[in-house]
Amino acid sequence: MQKLNSMLDKFTKKISGGVYGLLSITFGIIGDLLAYLMYPGYDFLRMPVSSLCDGRGGLFFQIGTVFSGIWALFFLIYISQTFDGKKNSENLTKVAVYFALISCISFIGLGAFCGSNPTIALIHGICTIISWLSGICYLTLFSILMLRDSKYSKFLVYVGFSAAISLSTMVIMFFLYYFPGLQNLIIILPLWEWIDTFVLIIWYFVVSLYLLIKKIKLY
């Protein structure tokens, strides 16, 4: 883990973190869009995001997701290195980074393992749940760290907490779906997953722009 962190540290020092965030968004959107355009009959209300990998453009979805996760990893590592060590606990920052690493690696995994094969579908499902849960944690912790750091806008904090709450709501609905008799009550789940996707895109976008406009440097 230390070797990985050292390698990431060297890489993130060369370019502003805002660039990494925008690259993550770009790859994700292009991959999803191409997969959607090549999937006639795809229904946002009934089909989860990952169903795009079952269409003719599934490979675009997978490639987009994998590269989106890679750039997201660099983006989050960069942010973690901008926090004021005097105002923020070093341990809290480390925990936030660990959750970010777990979430991004799991996100890459769900993109790499995507399809109708039972084994691949199982791996995909496990990676998805891990990515969601760890995503809630890093969004919450990064928002707390930003709240304690005067160089970050409160707006970014509100967006971060909103994203964490929205993702938490979807996870709760996901688990409730498997309770007998509740399936019909959770029909909004696929649509909510798309809503969460756009909410996360907004968080990455506004934070990326803030890093670039304010020229936030590594601490």
| Residue 4, pLDDT above cutoff 80 | no
Task: Please check the confidence at residue 32 and state whether its pLDDT lies above 50.
Answer: yes
The mean pLDDT of 117-143, rounded to a whole number, is 94
**Residue 32 resides in a domain:** yes
Query: Rounded to an integer, what distance in angstroms lies between the CA atom of residue 187 and that of residue 198?
Result: 19
Choice among 68-72, 149-153, 154-158 with the minimum mean pLDDT: 149-153
- Is 218 within the bounds of a domain? no
Domain annotation covers residue 70: yes
Query: Would you say residue 190 lies in a domain?
Result: yes
94-119 pLDDT, tens per residue? 999 999 999 999 999 999 998 888 89
> How large a percentage of the chain has pLDDT more than 70?
90
pTM: 0.90
Distance CA 200, CA 189 (A): 16
The domain tally of the chain equals 1
Task: Over range 186-193, report the average pLDDT.
Answer: 83
- 180 in a structural domain: yes
**219 occurs within a structural domain:** no
Residue 141 lies in a domain: yes
pLDDT of residue 14: 67
Which pLDDT tens digit goes with each residue over 161-182?
999 999 999 998 888 877 777 7
pLDDT value for 1: 47
What's the confidence (pLDDT) of residue 215?
86
What domain range includes position 80? Answer: 2-213
